[in-house]
Structure 1
Amino acid sequence: MKSLRIAVQMDPIETMVVQRDTSLALMIEAQNRGHETWWFTPNDVFFDAGVVKARARRASVSLNEAKHYENLETAIRALDDFDVILIRQDPPFDMGYVSNTYFLELTKARVLNPPRAVRNISEKMSIMYFPELTPKTWVGRDLDALVDFAKRFDQVVLKVLYLMGGDGVIKLKSSDPDFRARAGKFMDAAGREPILAQEFMPAVSGGDKRLFVLDGEPFGAIRRMPQGGDFRANLHAGGIAEPAEVDENDRRIAAAVAPLLKQEGILFAGLDVIAGKLIEINVTSPTLVQELKRFTGLDLPKAFWDKVEGLA
């Protein structure tokens, strides 16, 4: 296998949580294979007289907490100079994120996940394609319709669509006298975007599952457990990771979602599942592969680069 020139479009490298960062794990595996590893942020990308370029840094990376990276070289490079570019910056998935995908569509490099697919698969809204797999879900901005939906359930969860890590997620009791006012305030705070509401699933107290899907096939899973009375299991919100196994429900969900992922060219996705129900399809910057390896020994970065090298 020839050495590839790989770039990772990501958040600033100094902000990485070393023992948890999936982008870092992917970079280390690429480096260990002899590939040239670069990184840049979305703000480093620009269009200049017909050429999309980035102010990029070639880096050496490791899991050393004291010094997990060293920038070896900084250069303005045409994106066409790279063989592979990974989209790995975290949401919010705002117009800055969307605009950046237009830049990336102009390069001849192989971009993973593909920029058009990242636009097409809204991580929270894409579950609307699979109503038979999901909790009862409502999406919109009509407050009266939201109140009518909520009355069907004891409690509902409201979500801002384009954040991550449990941010912009609240739980309300539909019978509370101030439900309408609080839901309206939440909707107003979301701006012009719709919001998502779902029946609350008490089973989340037993954790939610991150199902890793690689090239359309289930690869492994871990469970995230909420802590301290919080119903959110996201590690960003204080949840903790635990071992989990891929079960028949997971395989059924992965098989149902796989045609969409294949159609859009999504190589690596993370499906969030609670009690056998699909909650979210993560395609921007799926995380938790370091936890997966620690708990199960499954090495997703290795399998990921095996796939990519097979495409090169």
Structure 2
Amino acid sequence: MKIAFLADPLAGFKIYKDSTFAMMREAAKRGHAIYHFEQGDMSLSNGAVVANAAQIHLTGDADDWYRSTDKVETALGEFDAVIQRKDPPFDMEYVYGTYLLELAESQGAQVFNKPAAIRSHNEKLSIAQFPQFTTPTVVTSNVTRLRDFHAEHRDVIFKPLDGMGGAGIFRVKDDGMNLGSVIETLTEEGTRTIMAQRYIPEIVKGDKRVLVIGGKPVPFALARIPQAGEVRGNLAAGGVGVAQPLTARDREIAETLGPILAARGLLLVGLDVIGDYLTEVNVTSPTCFQEITDQAGFDVAAMFIDAVEAALERA
């Protein structure tokens, strides 16, 4: 098969931990031809969605890990699968990219995750569809409502709806220190919608990434444990990742959401769980494949490529 990866520049990959690289390596191991293109390589030309894509050959050398052909303009429908792995920011350029990918689907392309499903599932706000698993939450740009939420719950996390890697997350404790400044900054003086959630003390044990592939949970989560007084467990914010078996609650959340999200076209989802609570539903470029595989011995990339192959057989 020919599998194309829409991803950020290959030169920026940290292959010792990059999940997209793990997907590529597993696909190549199975004899599939792998290709790469960036969002800016896509065009709508003469009615067809095309991309200037390069075929990638993995070298096995950690310092010089790939060789690539020259880019060739190729209709996305000519690939057996297109794997959407573009990282946020989820800005209008990202949205335009999903429109092109959706049009490519109508021309025969098989895209994972489905672009319309990515567009419809804000990674923060999607938890509201599953209130049985969430901590008290408010989403608003109204400064008074946010202040009232803090007054009720006393220890609150405030965060933007479009951040990644823990960016822009603030904790305001019972003393209300910097409450006004945090709310004014994040809402841009009441003009930008944000999320506030009651603080979950179990964050000290880790912000767990629970991967769900083809509607089924990976049996191990990666608990990203905050360090040095941080409130954020994100690896990008300095958290330390520890693989651990799913708890009964983790599995309950994953087995409830998995089939629902898979039916919507989300082949790969990264659920964030703190303690017993669902905090995010990651659909753009969920990661932690290699950390789980290295520590727990479960081959996440193999499960993912299995799911891609099965989806193509059903198509």
How high is the TM-score relative to the length of structure 1?
0.94
Q: Secondary structure at the match of 1:168?
A: coil
C-alpha spacing 1:164/1:112, structure 2 compared with 1 (3 Å)? same
TM-superposed CA distance for 1:95, in Å, is 1.1
Q: Which residue of 2 aligns with 1:289?
A: 289
Question: Could you tell me how far apart the structure 1 residues matched to 2:96 and 2:36 are?
Answer: 19
- After superposition, what is the alpha-carbon deviation per residue over 1:133-191, rounded to whole angstroms, capped at 9, x for unaligned? 011111010110111011112221111111211112111225326422331122108x9
Q: Which residue of 1 aligns with 2:161?
A: 161
Question: Could you tell me how far apart the structure 2 residues matched to 1:205 and 1:63 are?
Answer: 37
Give the fraction of aligned pairs with identical amino acids, expressed as a percent: 37
Question: Could you tell me how far apart the structure 2 residues matched to 1:61 and 1:237 are?
Answer: 30
Question: Could you tell me how far apart the structure 2 residues matched to 1:113 and 1:262 are?
Answer: 9
TM-superposed CA distance for 1:240, in Å, is 1.1
Question: Could you tell me how far apart the structure 1 residues matched to 2:217 and 2:294 are?
Answer: 18
C-alpha spacing 1:303/1:282, structure 2 compared with 1 (3 Å)? same
| Corresponding letter in the other structure for 1:208 | D
TM-superposed CA distance for 1:236, in Å, is 0.5
Q: Which residue of 2 aligns with 1:119?
A: 119
Q: Secondary structure at the match of 1:231?
A: coil
Q: Does 1:67 align with 2:59?
A: no
Query: Is the Cα–Cα contact under 8 Å of residues 45 and 55 in structure 1 kept in the other structure?
Result: yes
Q: Which residue of 2 aligns with 1:6?
A: 3
Query: Is the Cα–Cα contact under 8 Å of residues 217 and 258 in structure 2 kept in the other structure?
Result: no
Query: Is the Cα–Cα contact under 8 Å of residues 59 and 73 in structure 1 kept in the other structure?
Result: no
Question: Could you tell me how far apart the structure 2 residues matched to 1:62 and 1:216 are?
Answer: 33
Q: Secondary structure at the match of 1:250?
A: helix
Q: Which residue of 2 aligns with 1:109?
A: 109
Deviates more, 1:27-36 or 1:149-158: 149-158
Query: Is the Cα–Cα contact under 8 Å of residues 18 and 64 in structure 1 kept in the other structure?
Result: no
**Structure 2 residue ranges without an equivalent (≥5):** none
Query: Is the Cα–Cα contact under 8 Å of residues 210 and 270 in structure 1 kept in the other structure?
Result: yes
Deviates more, 1:174-183 or 1:26-35: 174-183
Question: Could you tell me how far apart the structure 2 residues matched to 1:245 and 1:311 are?
Answer: 27
C-alpha spacing 1:32/1:276, structure 2 compared with 1 (3 Å)? same
Question: Could you tell me how far apart the structure 1 residues matched to 2:145 and 2:250 are?
Answer: 32
- Matched residues, number: 308
Q: Does 1:276 align with 2:276?
A: yes
C-alpha spacing 1:163/1:295, structure 2 compared with 1 (3 Å)? same
Question: Could you tell me how far apart the structure 1 residues matched to 2:298 and 2:265 are?
Answer: 23
Q: Which residue of 2 aligns with 1:215?
A: 214
TM-superposed CA distance for 1:309, in Å, is 1.6
- After superposition, what is the alpha-carbon deviation per residue over 1:100-127, rounded to whole angstroms, capped at 9, x for unaligned? 0010012211100000110111111000
Question: Could you tell me how far apart the structure 1 residues matched to 2:260 and 2:311 are?
Answer: 20
Q: Does 1:78 align with 2:75?
A: yes
Query: Is the Cα–Cα contact under 8 Å of residues 151 and 175 in structure 1 kept in the other structure?
Result: no
Query: Is the Cα–Cα contact under 8 Å of residues 127 and 278 in structure 1 kept in the other structure?
Result: yes
Q: Which residue of 2 aligns with 1:196?
A: 195
Q: Does 1:179 align with 2:163?
A: no
Q: Does 1:248 align with 2:248?
A: yes
TM-superposed CA distance for 1:72, in Å, is 2.5
Q: Secondary structure at the match of 1:164?
A: coil
How high is the TM-score relative to the length of structure 2?
0.94
| Corresponding letter in the other structure for 1:18 | I
Query: After the TM superposition, which parts of structure 1 deviate over 6 Å for at least 4 consecutive aligned residues?
Result: none
Q: Does 1:41 align with 2:10?
A: no
Question: Could you tell me how far apart the structure 1 residues matched to 2:302 and 2:275 are?
Answer: 29
**Structure 1 residue ranges without an equivalent (≥5):** none
Q: Secondary structure at the match of 1:254?
A: helix
Q: Does 1:230 align with 2:230?
A: yes
| Corresponding letter in the other structure for 2:68 | N
Question: Could you tell me how far apart the structure 2 residues matched to 1:192 and 1:22 are?
Answer: 36
Q: Which residue of 1 aligns with 2:95?
A: 98
Question: Could you tell me how far apart the structure 2 residues matched to 1:62 and 1:167 are?
Answer: 34
Query: Is the Cα–Cα contact under 8 Å of residues 77 and 110 in structure 2 kept in the other structure?
Result: no
TM-superposed CA distance for 1:192, in Å, is 5.0
Q: Secondary structure at the match of 1:89?
A: coil
Q: Does 1:24 align with 2:12?
A: no
Query: Is the Cα–Cα contact under 8 Å of residues 216 and 259 in structure 2 kept in the other structure?
Result: no
TM-superposed CA distance for 1:259, in Å, is 4.0
| Corresponding letter in the other structure for 1:288 | C
